[in-house]
Structure 1
Amino acid sequence: MYIEVDARGLACPKPVINTKKELDNIEQGIVIVTVDNDVAKQNILKLSNSLNCESRVIKEEKDLISIEIKKGENVIIEEKKQEELEDKCIFISSNKMGNGNDELGEVLMRGFIYTLTESKPYPKSILLVNSGVKLSTENHDTTQNFKILEEAGVEILSCGTCLDYYGLKESLKVGSVTNMYTIVDIMKNSSQTISI
């Protein structure tokens, strides 16, 4: 079976949702997805990987990126080794912890991220939204500690819409860009979501 999905011009997370719908409708076959930006491309590739499908970029020009996804057909995906991870996600919606003094809030957040590196088992995922994306872009201390967690297998995911809003898409220093579909999916499927 061969299906084409034209997701150009669609706002996040529609390219991912439309692609997943087509993949869910087939047992095996090829889905060709066309998007018009790098964030959508990365999100489609991550979706494919999460569904144990094989994917590759077959065409990449300005405002036109085509991705081939193969479902079924003896696809073997090498799983990333993850040691000592709990089935939990941490949802961080600010670069500050608590309400009150902003400077104190930033100090507390840096301390929290550092303490995570010293507290095993680690969570499977850390989701960064709103000004929380500044922790994976602007803050040297937190980006270095996130790198320690990432090397241990923790997914560090920053909201693409939020990065765009703050003008930080090109400043991501650790982890990867994600979309609202993936954020919701991870939160729903984790045994526990801890909101900071």
Structure 2
Amino acid sequence: MNMKELDCRGQACPQPVLITRSFLVDHKDAEDFRILVDNRAAAENVKRFLENAGFGCVLEEAGTDFLIVSRSGLPEAVPEIRESEKQEGGKRRILVLLTADRIGDGDVVLGAALMKNFILTLKELGDDLWRIVCLNGGVRLAVKESPVLTALKELEEEGVDVLVCGTCLEHYGLTEEKAVGSTTNMLDIVTGCGVADKVISF
């Protein structure tokens, strides 16, 4: 059987995911396919997208590139909203968007302390806290030496979805330092903001 291949090398986020989604819509009869990307963030994003869409796939290194291979066939339709994004039991979905590792533009030390206290207090939102998204400088909150790493891990263990921007990790050279959450892309972020009942942004 002829395996279809998408070459997404050189494509900026979220293009590899969007190209993959378009491919799935246009090739409903495909059984075996693979996607080639040139950075780990894109590879993790594509793999996560396929898994959320119901595909079994493996991630392989191909020299300096990455190959995501699926042999599980295509579902009847690519879901627009993942099952985990559907509202359950009437709960509100609060999405917290963290765009920096501190709060405010004043004193740096004070701003970092405020962000730490904010994250430590997020548990007070209870079951309504649905998702935390870290992007731009906020990805520093999800790395190994982060002062709030333990708090974020505890929230994740309690069922909060923690997503970390892959493009931002690549930009800051922190891809290998990520220690909590799943690598995400702008498609996931926009979709999440769209289905959230409330977005809190810092």
Under a length normalisation based on structure 1, what TM-score does the superposition of the two structures give?
0.83
- Give the Cα–Cα distance (whole angstroms) in 2 for the partners of residues 91 and 106 of structure 1: 16
- Give the Cα–Cα distance (whole angstroms) in 1 for the partners of residues 74 and 131 of structure 2: 25
- Secondary structure class of the residue paired with 1:72: coil
Letter paired with 1:8: R
Letter paired with 1:109: M
Q: State the 1:65 CA deviation.
A: 2.9
Closer, same or farther: CA 185–28 of 1 in aligned 2, 3 Å? farther
Answer yes or no: is the 8 Å Cα contact 2:41–2:167 preserved in 1: no
Alignment match, 1:44: 46
Q: 1:19-52 CA deviation, whole Å, 9 max, x = no partner?
A: 0111123445333212222222111111012222
- Give the Cα–Cα distance (whole angstroms) in 2 for the partners of residues 173 and 64 of structure 1: 22
Q: 1:58-101 CA deviation, whole Å, 9 max, x = no partner?
A: x432134332333228xxxxx88xx9974221111111112322
Letter paired with 2:181: G
1:9-48 paired onto structure 2 within 5 Å: 9-27=10-28, 29-30=30-31, 31-48=33-50
- Aligned pair partner of 1:137 in 117, 140, 143: 143
Q: State the 1:4 CA deviation.
A: 2.6
Answer yes or no: is the 8 Å Cα contact 1:158–1:178 preserved in 2: yes
Q: State the 1:153 CA deviation.
A: 1.9
- Aligned pair partner of 1:154 in 137, 157, 160: 160
- Give the Cα–Cα distance (whole angstroms) in 2 for the partners of residues 62 and 86 of structure 1: 45
- Give the Cα–Cα distance (whole angstroms) in 1 for the partners of residues 124 and 18 of structure 2: 36
Q: Which runs of 5+ in 2 are unaligned?
A: 77-82
1:1-196 paired onto structure 2 within 5 Å: 3-27=4-28, 29-30=30-31, 31-57=33-59, 59-69=60-70, 70-72=73-75, 86-137=92-143, 139-196=145-202
Q: State the 1:176 CA deviation.
A: 2.3
Q: State the 1:7 CA deviation.
A: 0.8
Deviates more, 1:41-50 or 1:168-177: 168-177
Q: State the 1:171 CA deviation.
A: 1.4
- Give the Cα–Cα distance (whole angstroms) in 2 for the partners of residues 49 and 108 of structure 1: 36
Higher strand share: 1
Residue identity over aligned pairs, in percent, reads 34
Answer yes or no: is the 8 Å Cα contact 1:91–1:195 preserved in 2: yes
Under a length normalisation based on structure 2, what TM-score does the superposition of the two structures give?
0.81
Q: 1:163-196 CA deviation, whole Å, 9 max, x = no partner?
A: 2222222211211222222211221222222212
- Give the Cα–Cα distance (whole angstroms) in 2 for the partners of residues 91 and 5 of structure 1: 32
